[in-house]
Structure 1
C-alpha cells in the first residue's frame, strides 16, 4: 500500500504542475516570469492612453534570481499575454554579478483601462541576442541617449544615428543606470535632418535632471536658429520654457540633489512644460524653424544664460508631440519608485515548486548558512542514529543478561563467568555484564590473595561495590559521549539561522534601495529566501531536541538498570555468604 501511495503521489506531483501551467511560448526556454503592467488609478495612474510606450523593466535580486539566464541576457524574450506575440526590447544594462539589469520593453498600447500581463522568458543557452533599440522605440523618436557608454560620446539608440558630438563625464548610479555630468562642457547634439524642426512643427524633448545647485537661468536644453529660439531651463529651482524670448510663468519647483523629470512638447499651437510628467506651464506660441545644432547643459550662441551644473539621464527627442499620459508614464515608471511594473513568481517549464523558487532566490551568504546548518544536521542525525542503535542493543543485551543472572539464583555468583553461559554478543553489548565481570574479577582477585569468600566482610562488599560503581560511571560517560554536540545543535542552530536571516534581509533592503524598487513583489522573494535560513535552523534544532530528550530518557533508564543491578548483586553476595551477612549485621 505504501508503494502504491508513493507512486500515486509521484505521478500527481509530475502531472499537476503541467496541468496548471498553460501554454508555453517555445519549449527551448526553460523559465518564464510574469510581469504585470498596471497603469490604472491604483498603480501608475497615468490618467489616459499613452499609446505605444517603451517601458523600463528593472531586474534586481529582490525580484529576479539571475539563475538560469545567460550572462549577457541574450536569452531574454518578452512575450505578450497571448504567449505568441514577441515584444521588442533593448538591454541597457545587464550584470548578473551585481544582480541588476535594465531592459526597455516596447509595449504596443499602454492604457489605464486594465492591467496588462507580459511574460519574460529566459533559460536558453543557445538563444542569440535579440535586443534592438531601433525596434524598441517607435520611429517618431529621433534621438534616445541611455548614456550606457563610458569614455565615449553618447550613442543614439534609434535608427537615425544622432550620436552626440561631445564626450561627457560619466555619472554612475543615476536614476536609470549611468548618466552624464554637466557643468564644464555641454552635450552637443548634431544638426541632422531628422532633428530639424519646421516652423509650427511638432516636437518633444524629455530628460531626467539632478541639479547640484539652484542658480539663476540655468540652461538644460537650448537651440537657436537666427531669431528663432527654444530653451528649457531652471531659474532658482523653477523650471521654465522660453520661445523667441517669451518665457513661461513660474510653475512647480524642483529640488537640488534630487532627480526630476522635465519635458517640453509642442503641437504647432502651444508649447507645454511638464515637470514630473504633469503640465506645469503653457506658452500659446508655435515653434520657429530650428535647423542648427542643439546644446544640452549650456546656452546657444547669443544667449546670456548660465550653464546647468549637475547630472542628467535618459535624453529623448521626438518629432511629434507626445501624449501627456506617455510623459506621465515615463516619469512614474523610470524613477526610483516605479508603480507601473509588478513582478510575479518565476515558472519552470518542467514544473517547479514554490520552495524551488525560494531556493533560486537565495544569495551566496544564505547558502553558506544553510551549508553550515546542513553539516550540523548531518552530524546530529548521525549521533542520534548511532546512539539510538547503541542504546537499543545495550537494553536488549541487559535484558538478556538479567535473564541469565536470575536463572543462577541458587548457584555461586561467579557461575555465569564459567563455561561461556552468556553468549558473546550479549557480553559485547551489555553494560550489566561489564559490571558483573568486574565484580567477579574482584572476588577472584581476593580469593587469589587467600581471602575466604565464604566470609565476606562489609569492607569486601564495599570494595566490590566501589569497583562496580567505577565501571558504572565509565559506562555513563560512554553513553553521554557526543551528547554535548546535540545540546549545542539545539541551542546554536536557531541562532545560526537567525544570523543568516538578518544578513539576508539587510541585503534585500540594500539592493532594493540601489535598484529603486520598494514594492512587495520586489522584496518578497529575497525576504522569503532570508527567512528560509531561520526555518532551516529550526528544522535542524527541533529534531535534535526530540532526539536528545529521547536518548536522555533511554540513557537514564540504562543507568537506573545498572544502579539496580549493583544493589541486587551486593544483596545476593551478602545473602549467599552466611558469615559475611553476620559480619555485616555485627558491623552495623
Structure 2
C-alpha cells in the first residue's frame, strides 16, 4: 500500500508542472505572465476596486516585440485559469519604437492577494480582437484616449459620444498622446447617455498638466439654465462648484506636472479627488444637466480657459469606488507598481538562450553579424592553413626520405628522373630550397666557375639563395595569419561595444518608460551581454587556432633551416675544394 501511494504521489509530482503550465490555445506560440498587485507591496489602493480597465504598458525593457504581429492583432489576454479571455483595447502599438499601450478589462481588482493574467502572442493568422466597447464596462459613458492626431477625440465606448470640436494634439503625455487646451474648449455632445438627472451618480476623471497657475482655470463645465457644475483649478488649487457652492481648498497641483483629477457624485455629496485621494467634499447632489459640456473653458466662448494639456478623459454614470480612482491615479503613470512582468514563455519549451535572442535589439544583431563574419573568415583561414601545413609536413617527410637516400651519390640525383613525386614538388618547401640550390650551382657551372670543385664563395652564394627562398616560404606561411591575430584582439572589443550600446539603450528605455524593476531591464541586459559572449566565442577559438598554426609554422621553418645547414654541409663535403673532382652536376632540364 505504501509503495502504491508513493508511486501515485511521484506520478502526480511529475504531471503537476505540466498541468500547472497548461497552454490556452496551441496556435499561439508565446505568452508572458503579468502580475497585478494592488496590495501594500504593489499599488497599495487600500480596497477592492472591482472591475477595472488596467493599462498594460509594453516597452523594450519588458517586451522584445519579437514574434508578435506588426499591429498587435494577435495579442490575447487570458485570466489565471488559462481559459477566460479578457477584453482588451489597443491604444497604441508601435514595434519600431518599441512602445505599446493596451487596456485590459480585469473583472476584479482586489487589494489582497496578487493575481496573474497571461498575455499570449505569436499567431500571425489571428484576427484583431481588441474592442474598447467591451474593454470598458457599460457604466462608462465617455472615454477619450486622444490617440487621434489633430482630430476630434473619439469615444471608445459603445455610446459613441465623440467630441464636437478639434483640439491640438499633445505628444509625450502621461499615456501616449493627449490634447492641448487653452485656445478653444473641447465641446462634448449633448447626448442622452451623458444627461445627468438630479441627484444621480456621476464620475469625472482626467489627467491634467497646467502650464501656469492662474485664477479660475476651468477643466470641466456644464450649465443647464440655473443649474451649474464646474471643475477647475484656482491658483493651483483644484475646486468643484455646484450651483455656486464651492468646495474648500484641498491638495494643490503643480505647474508643468501631471496630476490625476476626479470628482464623483452621489445622491447627497460631491467629492473632489486629487491623485486618487479625497481633497474636499460638498454636501449636495448634482442638479439635472442635459446640455453640452465644455472641457478646458467655461462654455464655448472660452471664459476661464485652462492653459495646459489633458489626457485620458472619462465620464461615468455611476459613482466609481475610491479604490478604483486611486488605482487609476497610481497605475496609469510610467511609474506604475500595479503591473509586474515575468519572462516570456514558448509553447515548445523555449530555452533561456532563446529568450535572450528574442530580446536582442537591432544594434545587437548588427554586432553579432559582424562577429559572425569575423568567425567565418577566421575558421576558413584556420582550416585552410591547417590543411596546407599538413600537406607541407607530409611532403617534407617524403622529400627528406628521398634526399637522405642519395648519401654518397651526386647531389643533383633527385633533380633528374621521377624520383620525387609531383605532389611533393608542389607542396614541399624543402624541395624548393633544394631546387634553387641546384639551379644556382648549374648557373655557376655554365659560366665556367667551380667546374671541378665548389668553392666556399659558391657555397655562400647557394646558401644565400636558399635563405631567400626560406624567407619567401615563411612569408607564404604567415600570409593571412594577421587576420587571426586581429580577430583575437578585436572580437572582444567589438562584442564589448555592442554590450555598452545595448546597456545604454536598456537604461534609456527604462527611464523613458519609468520601469525600474528587474523584470523590465533583465532581458535587455542579458541580450547586451550576449554581444560580449559572442566576441569571446569568436576570439577564443581563433586564439587556440593561431597558437596551433604558429607552432606548426615554426616547426616547418625549423625544418627548412636544418635542411639548409645539412645541404650546405653535404655540398662542402662532397664537392667542396680539397676533394677529388667529381662529375659535373646534371642540369635541371630533365626535372
Could you state the TM-score of these two structures normalised by the residue count of structure 1? Answer: 0.91
Give CA deviations for 1:20-77 in whole Å, capped at 9, x if unaligned: 9832111222222222212222222222211111001112222222233222222211
| 1:225-374 equivalences in 2 (<5 Å) | 225-300=224-299, 306-374=304-372
Structure 1 stretch 287-296 or stretch 328-337: which is displaced more? Answer: 287-296
1:466 is aligned to 2:464: yes
Counterpart Cα distance in 2 of 1:40 and 1:405: 90
Instruction: Judge which range, 61-70 or 460-469, deviates more.
Output: 61-70
8 Å Cα contact 1:456/1:580 also seen in 2: no
Distance 1:178 1:527 in 2: 29
Which residue does 1:551 correspond to in 2?
549
User: In 2, distance between residues paired with 1:580 and 1:121?
Assistant: 96
The residue aligned with 2:401 is 403
Partner of residue 201, structure 1: 200
* SS of residue paired to 1:142: strand
Is residue 508–residue 527 contact of structure 1 (8 Å, CA) maintained in 2? yes
Name the CA distance, whole Å, in 2 between partners of 1:502 and 1:262. Answer: 41
Aligned residue for 2:454?
456
Distance in 2 separating the partners of 1:330 and 1:519: 20
Q: CA deviation at 1:516?
A: 4.1
CA distances 1:532-578 after superposition (whole Å, capped 9, x unpaired): 22222222122212211221121112111111111121122222235
Q: Deviations over 1:350-402 (max 9, x none)?
A: 33222222222222222222222211111111001111111122122222322
Instruction: Give the distance between the partners of 2:548 and 2:451, measured in 1 at CA.
Output: 42
Partner of 1:161: 160
Q: 1:307, 1:485 → 2: CA distance?
A: 70
Give the secondary-structure state (helix, strand or coil) at the position aligned to 1:91. Answer: strand
| Runs of 5+ consecutive residues of structure 2 not aligned to the other structure | 1-13, 581-591
The alignment partner of 1:204 has SS state of strand
- The aligned residue for residue 105 of structure 1 is 104
- What is the deviation of 1:106? 0.3
Corresponding residue of 2:181: 182
CA contact (8 A) 2:154 2:162 kept: yes
Which position in structure 2 is the counterpart of 1:443? 441
C-alpha displacement of 1:412:
2.7
1:486 match: 484
Q: CA deviation at 1:115?
A: 1.8
Cα 1:519/1:53, change in 2 over 3 Å: same
Contact persistence 2:187–2:300 (CA under 8 A): no
Q: Provide the residue aligned with 1:8 in structure 2.
A: none
Deviation at 1:502, TM superposition (A): 2.9
Instruction: Look up the match of 2:5.
Output: none
**Are the counterparts in 2 of residues 271 and 282 from structure 1 also a CA contact under 8 Å?**
yes
Counterpart secondary structure, 2:50: strand
User: Hey, what's the Cα distance between the residues in 2 that align with 1:454 and 1:580?
Assistant: 10
State the alpha-carbon separation in 1 of the partners of residues 398 and 104 from structure 2.
78
> Distance in 1 between the 2:310 and 2:439 partners?
94
Q: Work out which of the residue numbers 521, 539, 560 in structure 2 matches 1:541.
A: 539
Are the aligned partners of 2:455 and 2:576 in contact in 1 as well (CA < 8 Å)? no
* Structure-2 residue corresponding to 1:117: 116
Does structure 1 retain, via aligned residues, the 8 Å contact 2:185–2:300? Answer: no
Computed over aligned residues only, the root mean square deviation of the Cα atoms, in angstroms, reads 2.4
Q: Distance in 1 between matches of 2:300 and 2:128?
A: 43
Q: Distance in 1 between matches of 2:43 and 2:578?
A: 99
CA contact (8 A) 1:401 1:426 kept: yes
Judge conservation of contact 2:396–2:429 (CA < 8 Å) in 1.
yes
Give, in angstroms, the shift of residue 514 of structure 1.
4.0
Contact 1:38 1:114 (C-alpha < 8 Å) held by counterparts: yes
Question: Which residue, 416, 428, 431 being the options, matches 2:429?
Answer: 431
Count of residue pairs brought into register by the alignment: 566
Question: How far is the alpha carbon of 1:296 from its aligned partner?
Answer: 1.1
Q: Which deviates more from structure 2 when the two are superposed, residues 87-96 or residues 381-390? A: 87-96
State whether residues 267 and 321 of structure 1, in contact with CA within 8 Å, keep that contact through their aligned partners in structure 2: yes
Aligned residue for 1:288, secondary structure, equals: coil
Whole-angstrom CA distance in 2 between matches of 1:453 and 1:245: 132
**1:512, distance to aligned residue in structure 2 (A):** 3.5
Q: Deviations over 1:311-352 (max 9, x none)?
A: 101001112221122112111211121221122222222332
- Which 10-residue stretch deviates more, 452-461 or 545-554? 452-461
Q: Greater CA deviation, 417-426 or 112-121?
A: 417-426
* Superposition deviation, residue 231 in structure 1: 2.0
> Is the contact made by 2:396 and 2:428 (CA closer than 8 Å) also made in structure 1?
yes
Query: Partner of 2:211 in structure 1?
Result: 212
Q: Indicate the residue corresponding to 1:11 in structure 2.
A: none
CA deviation profile, 1:230-282 (whole Å, cap 9, x unmatched)? 22211222222233333333322222122111111223333222221122223
